[in-house]
Amino acid sequence: MNTTSTSRVSREERREAILDAARRHFVSNGYHGTGMDDVASTLGLSKPIVYQYFSSKHDLYLAVLEKAGENLEETIGAVLNQPGRNRDVVQASVRAFFEFVADDMQYYRLLFDSDMLDDVDAAERVEGVTSAVVERIAAHIASDTGLAAPQAQVLASSVVGASESAAKAWLRTSQSDLDIDTASDLIAGMMWSGLRALPAQP
């Protein structure tokens, strides 16, 4: 047996376990209400072991934030990579935002509803994630309409901003009164009404 490989995999798995435990604490208690000892005790580890993987709570938080960003980018990217009519793509993109917000992992709270949004490093990472998603949607809009990149960027930013805000507002309502299908279709319909008025690429 290759002990080096086994050790490496074990270390990677433990790192992922630490990230997951930290995510749950940061979501439930916020950054300032979470200590490294909380994360360690959840996993039955000593605090020094956690520090072997992350040099500080801030470092751990940024790593969790990075995973949250990857999750959102993968969710939206999977939608945009699917073939289909533009209306279907818009609808699926909006639905993806709603599902991201409703997901039990609650990554959205770390990206858009955290007590660390004023932190420079955290804000830079959130901006990077948002920009990456906007870029993907803008490229799709530009290829279909022939709009210049700056115009497509503005439209894509509107799509992302509206989807995020609407999904968060929906989450605060009673889902028994407004289910995810109806809510996401309402927002997608509003967006499509505007986007379909744009000239198609000849």
Which CATH number does the domain housing residue 42 bear?
A: 1.10.10.60
The total number of structural domains in the chain stands at 2
What is the b/e burial string over 50-61, where b = at least 16 CB atoms within 10 angstroms of the residue's CB? beebbeebeebb
Could you give the CA distance from residue 94 to residue 79 in angstroms, rounded to a whole number? 10
Mark whether 101 and 40 lie in a shared domain: no
Q: What is the pLDDT of residues 27-71, one digit of tens each?
A: 999 999 999 999 999 999 999 999 999 999 999 999 999 999 999
Mark whether 34 and 78 lie in a shared domain: no
Residue 133 lies in a domain: yes
The CATH code of the domain that includes 91 is: 1.10.357.10
61 or 102: which carries more pLDDT confidence? 61
Q: What angle do CA 163, 167, 170 make, to 5 degrees?
A: 140
Q: Pick the closest to residue 60 from 72, 73, 71, 49 (CA basis).
A: 49
pLDDT at 6 over 80: no
Could you give the CA distance from residue 151 to residue 81 in angstroms, rounded to a whole number? 22
Mean pLDDT confidence for 106-131: 91
Mark whether 28 and 114 lie in a shared domain: no
Mark whether 64 and 23 lie in a shared domain: no
Mean pLDDT, the chain, integer: 86
pLDDT at 21 over 90: yes
Among the ranges given (96-105, 131-140, 167-176), the one the predictor scored with the smallest mean pLDDT: 167-176
pLDDT at 3 over 50: no
Residues 163, 72 contacting (CB under 8 angstroms): no
Among the ranges given (25-39, 89-103, 188-202), the one the predictor scored with the smallest mean pLDDT: 188-202
DSSP state of 105: T
Domain enclosing residue 67, as ranges:
57-196
Could you give the CA distance from residue 186 to residue 202 in angstroms, rounded to a whole number? 29
| Model pLDDT, residue 2 | 45
Question: If pLDDT is split at 50, 70 and 90, which confidence band does 172 have?
Answer: confident
Mark whether 76 and 138 lie in a shared domain: yes
Among the ranges given (9-23, 30-44, 84-98), the one the predictor scored with the smallest mean pLDDT: 84-98
- Helices 3-29 & 57-80, crossing angle to 10 degrees? 90
CA 156 to chain centre: 16
Mean pLDDT confidence for 189-196: 79
Amino acid, res. 27: V
Residue 5 lies in a domain: no
| Helix (H), strand (E) at residue 75 | helix 57-80
